[in-house]
């Protein structure tokens, strides 16, 4: 690999992918709408571009051999044009998807998993050498609770089925292997943490990490909807998230993929909470 372009580079997972690739000695380009405010590590070349405007990507893609693709939208509109642009320059794409996708389902259980399934199909038909990473619930999602925990020590929200929460650094470590090494073309990897946790478990572990007890309080979907809209979240996103809460089944799947591909066991959510405890105090 000569150069790798990371999309979503200013986000939780993409930022970790940038750091992991730099640690591995790769030449990294980080895509950002506004490079001046990207605040990415030294060593990464921050380049301007916007996935919602495929014609802005040519400069960022020129010279890039591989792309880490995070799709941040609620529809696949625009994705074919982005993949066409990627295919004109790169030969390899590693796409971040969801462990909730079921290959044997005609339709997925909720809109977000359906979006991921649709994106997977587009990636697989792109003509690129592709790898799909189906990540379970990502630990950094819990950062969205920081305000509630700091102010009341109570997280109020819709109950969502328990899953094996995975540390974003583990997702990034697997992504780096798929981007840098041969042998991953056509592979779909399910990435999980080492234990299945509910939201109640996660909030409790955050409380233990901070030394200040915290708890999760489930609320009815309509109450959650009103609060999420009042917080300023886009209505389409609110409905997609609530559909997930209502219809997504529990998952007890735990895989060894992180350790198999990186040589290190998957990190626990407790370790994530301890790393980020100051954000919740």
Mean pLDDT on 249-263:
93
Residue (of 100, 105, 129) closest to 116 by Cα position: 100
What is the C-alpha to C-alpha distance for residues 127 and 135, in angstroms, rounded to an integer?
Answer: 23
**φ, ψ dihedrals at 241, nearest 5°:** -65, -40
**Domain chopping of the chain, boundaries:** 4-135+168-191+253-264
Average of per-residue pLDDT across 187-215: 97
Is pLDDT at 166 greater than 60 in this prediction?
yes
Residue 279's nearest CA partner among 137, 161, 139 is 139
Res 2: pLDDT: 76
Q: Would you give the DSSP letter of residue 50?
A: -
Asked whether 54 and 29 are in contact (CB, 8 A), the reply is: no
Residue 5, strand partner residues = 29, 67
Spatial CA neighbour of 124 closest among 169, 96, 151, 93: 93
The per-residue pLDDT for range 123-151, each reduced to its tens digit, is 999 999 999 999 999 999 999 999 999 99
Q: What is the pLDDT of residue 236?
A: 84
Sign of CA dihedral 3, 260, 113, 197: negative
* Strand, helix or coil for residue 177: helix
Dist CA 258 CA 175 (whole Å): 10
Residue 242's H or E segment, with its range, is helix 235-247
CA–CA gap between residue 12 and residue 28 (Å, rounded)? 17
Mean pLDDT of 24-35: 95
DSSP state of 133: E
Note the pLDDT of residue 1: 56
Which of 43-47, 190-194, 217-221 has the weakest average pLDDT? 217-221
Which homologous superfamily does the CATH classification assign to the domain defined by 4-135+168-191+253-264?
NAD(P)-binding Rossmann-like Domain (3.40.50.720)
> In the prediction, which pLDDT does 214 show?
98
Average pLDDT score over the chain: 94
């Amino acid at each position: 690999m000569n150069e790798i372009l990371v999309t979503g580079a200013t986000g939780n997972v993409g930022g970790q992918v940038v750091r992991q690739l730099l640690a591995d000695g790769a030449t990294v380009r980080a895509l950002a709408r506004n490079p001046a405010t990207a605040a990415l590590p030294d060593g990464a070349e921050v380049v301007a571009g916007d996935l919602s405007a495929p014609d802005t990507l040519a400069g960022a893609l020129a010279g890039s051999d591989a792309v880490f693709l995070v799709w941040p939208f609620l529809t696949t509109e625009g994705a074919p044009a982005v993949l066409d642009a990627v295919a004109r320059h790169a030969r390899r794409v590693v796409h971040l998807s969801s462990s909730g996708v079921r290959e044997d389902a005609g339709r997925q259980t909720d809109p977000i998993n359906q979006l991921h399934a649709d994106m997977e199909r587009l990636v697989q038909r792109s003509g690129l050498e592709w790898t799909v990473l189906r990540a379970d619930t990502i630990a950094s999602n819990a950062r969205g609770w920081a305000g509630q925990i700091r102010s009341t020590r109570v997280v109020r929200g819709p109950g969502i089925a328990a899953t094996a929460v995975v540390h974003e650094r583990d997702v990034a470590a697997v992504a780096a292997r798929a981007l840098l090494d041969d042998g991953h073309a056509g592979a779909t990897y399910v990435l999980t943490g080492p234990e299945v946790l509910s939201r109640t478990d996660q909030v409790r572990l955050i409380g233990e990490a901070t030394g200040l007890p915290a708890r999760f309080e489930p609320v009815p979907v309509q109450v959650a909807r009103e609060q999420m809209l009042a917080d300023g979240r886009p209505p389409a996103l609110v409905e997609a998230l609530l559909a997930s809460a209502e219809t997504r089944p529990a998952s007890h799947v735990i895989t060894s993929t992180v350790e198999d591909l990186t040589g290190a066991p998957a990190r626990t959510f407790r370790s994530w909470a301890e790393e980020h405890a100051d954000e919740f105090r």
